[in-house]
Structure 1
Amino acid sequence: MRFLFVHGTGVRRERHDRLFALVRDRLEARFPHASVESCYWGDRFGAGLGAGGRSVPGLRPRPGGDPDPVDAETAEWALLLADPLCEVRVLAEAGWDTADGAGPAGDDGFAMPGVRAAGARPLDLLDQLDQLADRPTAALTTGAPAGAAPAGPATPAATTSAVASGGGDELAALLRGTGLAAGFPAALESTARSAEAARAAERALTEPQARELATVLARAVTAAALASAGADADCTGAERDRLVELLTARLGGDARVPGARAAAVLGRLAMRVTTQPLLNAWRGSLTVGATPALGDILRYQARGHDLREFLRERITAEPGPTVLIGHSLGGIALVDLLALAAARGEPVPGAGLLVTVGSQAPFLYELGALTALAPGAKLPYGFPGWLNVYDRQDVLAYLAGPVFPDDPRVTDHEVGSRQPFPACHSAYWKQDSLYERIEQAVAEAEIG
C-alpha cells in the first residue's frame, strides 16, 4: 500500500518539505509497511508574477514616502461607515476648548438660564428635516403644515421631495442618483434622535461651534445612509462630499470648517485603526506575498489540465492501491482528476481511497466552478471512496456529504484544532484524530 500526499495552494519547496516530513512520520507510525510519498507541484505548476508585478498599483513606493492625503480622507470615511456617529460622539464627550483654555465648553457653570446654546439651531433644523421625511407626498407638494394629519406613510420619493423643498431639487436628485434615497429617512432619524447629537448641541455655545456641529451632523447622516445602502450605493467621493455640503447648508453650517475638532481627533485615529491606509501603503508587498496562495487557485482554474496529468502520472507510476491525501487545492485537483477519469469510463488505476483535508471542492461544486462536475451531477461510477476532513473554524474547508446526498462513498469528518483561521487551515497535520480517521477509512476500504 502507498500513500501519496498532494499539498495545497501557496506551498513552495521549503514549506512543503517541513509539512511532508510531519505527515510522513505520522503515517509511517500507523502504517509501518506502507510507502509514503509526496507529489510536490508548487514550483512547476504554481503561480508567479510573470511581469514582476508591474500590474500592481503601489508596488513602487511613493517618492519621499509621504502619506497620500486621499488615503487619510478614505480612512476617515471608513471609520464613519463603521460608526456614523463617531464624530458627533467626539463633540458630545470632549466638546470644545473655551477661549481661555479653562476647559470644555458648557462646563463652566456660567451659562445664563433660559438661553439656548448655539448648537440647538442645527439640531432643530436636522429635526425639521427628519419630520419632513415622515410627511406624506400630498402634504409636501401642497405646503400643508407639519402638524397636519398624515395621509399615508412616507416613501423614499416623498422624503427626497421633502428635503429638496425650498432649495431646488439637487439634493433629491443626488439621493436618487446615488442609491441613498431609501435609507435616507432612517439616517436622518437615527442622527437627529441620538443622545450624542443632543449632548453635542448642548456643548456648542458659540456660532463657530454650531457651524462645526452642522458639518459633523451632515457627515453622520451621509455616513449612515451610505452604510445602510452598502454595496448597493452608487456614490463617488465627489457626490458624497456634495451631499455633505448640501446637508450642511440646510443645517446652517459651513462644509469647510477650518480646524474642526472632531476631524482632528478622528483623522489621526482613522489612519491607525482602519485597513484602507494599510492596504494602500502595502498593496504591492501584500500582492506579492499573496500571489502564491491566491495565484495558484486562479492558475489552476484556468490551466488545471497540466497539474491533473502530472498527478495521474505520479499515481500510476507504481502498481498497487494508493491512498490519495489532498490538502486544500490539492484536494480540488484530485477530485477533478478522479471524477473526469471515471466519467470517461477510465478510472485512475490504483486510486483506492481519496482523503481531502480543508478542501474547497464541495463549495466549487455548488458554485458550478468545479471542472469535473456540473451542479447537481452525481459522482460517476468508478470514483473511489472519499473521506472529507474539515475544521469548522477553517473558512477554506467545506462539507462534501450534504452536496452529494445518499452517496455512501462520501463521508465527512470534523476535527478541531482550537485555532482560529488561518492557523487552523494548516493545523490538521498535528492532530491524532486525523490519522485515526484515515486509519479507519483504510480499514473500511480494505486496502493494505
Structure 2
Amino acid sequence: MRIIFVHGTGVRRPRFDELFQRVGAGLLKRFPDADVEPCYWGDEFGATLGAGGASVPGMVPRQAPPGTVADTAEDPETVEWLLLLTDPYCELRVFAELAVEADTGFAVPGVRSPGEAVADRLRALPREPDPSDELAALLRETDLAEGYRRALDAVADSEEFRAACAAAEDDATASDLVATTGRAVVAVLLAEARDTALCTGDERDRLVDLLTGRLGGTARGLVTRGAGVLLKLGLRLTRQPVLDRWRGEFTSDKASEVGDILRYQARGEALRTRLQQMIDRSPEPPVVIGHSLGGIALVDTLALAATRQQPLPVHLLVTVGSQAPFLHELGALAGLHPGAALPSGFPDWLNIYDRKDLLSYLAEPVFPGDPRVTDHEVRSRQPFPLSHSAYWKLDAVFDRIGEALR
C-alpha cells in the first residue's frame, strides 16, 4: 500500500520532519508494509515576505518627525474599549464594588439617592430621539440608530446598573456613575452592531458626551476609579497593546500560516501539478492524506482531473482538519464550480474533523447524498488553535483511516 501525506499551512522544516515522523509512525503501526511518502511543499510553494515585511507597520522602526515625540505609550482608550466591547457591563460592576467599599454611610432614609436619580434620568430618556437633534443624526451616521432603544433598555434593566445606582450615595459618586453609564450604553450599541457599525473613535466619544450630558453629567474624559481599574486590567489581559507594539514580529512569525492560504488561492496550480505528478508515478492507486491546506489542494487536484474526464487513480482521499468543504460552500474552491457536485471519477473521501478545531469543516452536508463522502468526528479535548495540530497524536484518527481502508 502506498500512502502520500500532504502537510498544511505554516509548516516548514524541521517541523515537517517531526510531523511526518509522527504521522508515518501512526500509519506504519497499522499498516506495517505500507510505503508512506511525504509531500513537503512549504519551501517551494509556501509564502514568504518578499520585501522583508516592508508593508507591515512596525516591522522597521521609523523615526518620529522633527519636533514630535515618538508614541511609545499604550493607548488607554483602546484598552478600555476592548474590555467594554467584550463585556459592556464590566465597568458598572467594578464601579458598584468600589462604591460599596467607599460608602460613608450618610444615606438619608426616605430620600432618593443621587444614584437613584441617575436611574430615573436614564429611564426618562426618549427612546426615539428627535430626528433633528445631534444625537439622532449621529446615530444614523454611525448605523447605530436601530439598536439605540434596545441599548438604553438593556442598561436600565441590568443588574449591574441597578447595583451601581444603589451604591452611588453621594453626588461625587453619582457623577462618576453618569460617565460610566454613558460608556455602558455606547458599549452595548457597538457590541451588538459589531462590524456593521460605521463609527470612528471621535464619533464614539461624541455619543458618550451626548448621553452623559442628558444624564446630568458635564464633561467627557472623566476617568472614574472603575475606569482606572479596568485600564490596569486591560493592559494585562487584552491583546491590542501587545499587537500594536509587536505587530512586525507577530506578522513575520504568522506570515507563513495565513500567507500560505492566500498564496495557494492565487497561485495554487504549481502545488496541484506536484500532487498530480506524485499520484501519477505511484505504482498503485495511493491513499492520499491532506492536513488543513493540504486537504484543500488534494480536493482541488482530484476534482479538476475528474472534471477533465481524466480522473487520477486514488484509492482513498483523507482530509484532516480541512477547510475544503467551507471553501466550496463559499464558491471559492478552485476545483469545483460554486454549488457543483463532486464529479464522476472522484474517489471515496473520508473527512476527519474536531468541532473544537475552528479550521475544520463538515463535508457530508455540502455534498448531500453522495455515498463517497464520509465525515468522522474526533476529540482532542484541546481548545483552538492546539486542536488544529492535535490530530496526529490521536489513535482515533489512524484507527478510522484503517477502518476505511479495510
Q: Does 1:209 align with 2:170?
A: no
| Offset at residue 345 of structure 1 (A) | 1.8
Q: Matches of 1:198 and 1:424 in 2, distance apart?
A: 41
Pick from 77, 82, 86 the counterpart of residue 81 of structure 2: 77
Equivalent residue for 2:57?
Answer: 57
| C-alpha distance 72-61 of structure 1, shift in aligned 2 (>3 A) | farther
Structure 1, gaps ≥5 residues long:
97-102, 134-158, 444-448
CA distance in 2, matches of 1:254, 1:62: 40
Cα deviation for residue 195 of structure 1 reads 4.4
How does 1:180-191 map onto structure 2 within 5 Å?
180-191=144-155
Amino acid at match of 1:313: Q
Please name the residue that 1:171 is paired with.
Answer: 135
Residue 43 of structure 1: CA displacement? 0.4
Measured on the aligned residues, the alpha-carbon RMSD in Å equals 2.5
| Counterpart AA for 2:38 | S
Residue in structure 2 matched with residue 390 of structure 1 by the alignment: 353
Change (3 A) 1:5 1:112: closer
- 2:296 is paired with a residue of what secondary structure? helix
Output the CA distance in 2 between the equivalents of 1:405 and 1:259: 57
Give the corresponding residue for 2:339. Answer: 376
From the superposition, tell whether residues 24 and 84 of structure 1 become closer, same or farther in structure 2 (CA, over 3 Å): closer
Q: Which amino acid aligns with 1:68?
A: A
Structure 2 unmatched ranges of 5 or more? 64-68
SS at match of 1:246: helix
Asked if 1:68 corresponds to 2:73, the answer is yes
2:129 paired residue number: 160
Residues 114 and 168, structure 2, Cα contact 8 Å, conserved in 1: yes
- Kindly indicate whether the alpha-carbon contact (under 8 Å) linking 1:119 and 1:204 is maintained by their aligned counterparts in 2: yes
Q: Is the 8 A contact 1:358 1:397 kept in 2?
A: yes
Of residues 120-129 and 227-236 in structure 1, the stretch that sits farther from structure 2 once superposed is 120-129
Partner of 1:416: 379
Separation in 2, partners of 1:2, 1:113: 85
Alignment of 1:302-341 (within 5 A): 302-341=266-305
1:94 Cα offset (Å): 1.4
1:295-349 CA-partner distances (Å, limit 9, x unpaired): 111110000000111112222234222221111111111111111112112223x
1:355, distance to aligned residue in structure 2 (A): 1.7
Question: Which moves more between the two structures, 416-425 or 192-201?
Answer: 192-201
Change (3 A) 1:81 1:258: closer
2:339 corresponds to which letter in structure 1? G
Give the whole-Å Cα distance in 1 for the aligned partners of 2:218 and 2:203. Answer: 17
**Equivalence for 1:14:** 14
SS in structure 1 at match of 2:287: strand
Alignment partner, residue 151 of structure 1: none
Q: For 1:118 and 1:34, locate their aligned partners in 2 and report how far apart those are by CA, in whole Å.
A: 79
Residue 65 of structure 1: how far off its partner (Å) = 9.1
Residues in 1 aligned to 2:146 and 2:55: alpha-carbon distance in whole angstroms: 38
Match of 1:280 among 244, 267, 273: 244
Structure 1 residues 224 and 313: alpha-carbon distance in aligned structure 2, compared to 1, 3 A threshold? same
Alignment partner, residue 149 of structure 1: none
Q: Deviations over 1:395-444 (max 9, x none)?
A: 2222222222232322222323333322222222233333333233334x
Q: Distance in 1 between matches of 2:222 and 2:367?
A: 63
Could you say if the C-alpha distance between residues 262 and 120 of structure 1 is closer, same or farther in structure 2, counting changes exceeding 3 Å? same
Distance 1:119 1:433 in 2: 59
- Residue 28 of structure 2 corresponds to 28
Q: Which residue identity does 2:95 align to in structure 1?
A: L
* Equivalent-residue separation in structure 1 for 2:284 and 2:166 (angstroms): 83
Hey, what does 2:93 align to over in structure 1?
89
Match of 1:104 in 2: 102
Count of matched residue pairs:
401
Cα deviation code 1:166-193 (max 9, x no counterpart): xx71112112221222221222223334
Deviation at 1:42, TM superposition (A): 0.6
Cα distance in 2 between the residues matched to 1:259 and 1:328: 47
Matched residue type, 2:389? S
Matched, 1:126 2:122: yes
- Counterpart for residue 3 of structure 1: 3
Structure 2 counterpart SS, 1:55: coil
Give me the whole-angstrom Cα distance separating, in 1, the residues matched to 2:184 and 2:227.
12
Flag the 1:285–1:33 CA change in 2: closer, same or farther, 3 A: same
- Is the alpha carbon distance of 1:286 and 1:257 closer, same or farther for their aligned partners in structure 2, counting shifts above 3 Å? closer
1:248 CA drift (Å): 1.5
Matched, 1:358 2:336: no
Instruction: Tell me if the contact between 2:212 and 2:220 (Cα under 8 Å) persists in the aligned partners.
Output: no
- CA positional deviation for 1:372: 0.9
Task: State TM-score, norm by structure 1.
Answer: 0.82
Percent of aligned pairs with the same amino acid: 58
Tell me if structure 1 keeps the 8 A contact 2:279–2:285: no
Matched, 1:297 2:261: yes
Are the structure 2 counterparts of residues 431 and 200 from structure 1 closer, same or farther at C-alpha, using a change threshold of 3 Å? Answer: closer
- Report if the CA contact (8 A) 1:160-1:175 is conserved: no
Distance 1:221 1:306, change over 3 A: same
Q: Say whether residues 1:242 and 2:246 are aligned partners.
A: no
User: Cα distance 1:441–1:84, how it changes in 2: closer, same or farther (>3 A)?
Assistant: closer
Q: Distance in 2 between matches of 1:21 and 1:271?
A: 41
The residue matched to 1:356 in structure 2 has which SS? strand
Amino acid in the other structure paired with 2:30: R
* Cross-structure match for 2:401: 438
Q: 2:391 aligns with which of 421, 424, 428?
A: 428
- Kept after mapping to 1: 8 A contact 2:292/2:321: yes
The offset of 1:370, in angstroms, is: 0.7
| Cα distance per residue 1:128-182 (max 9 Å; x no partner) | 21xx32xxxxxxxxxxxxxxxxxxxxxxxxx021xx7xxx711121122212222
| Greater displacement, 362-371 / 384-393 | 384-393
Aligned-partner Cα distance in 1 for 2:27–2:192? 52
Partner SS, residue 146 of structure 2 = coil
Length-normalised TM-score, structure 2: 0.90
- One-letter amino acid of the structure 2 residue matched with residue 89 of structure 1: R
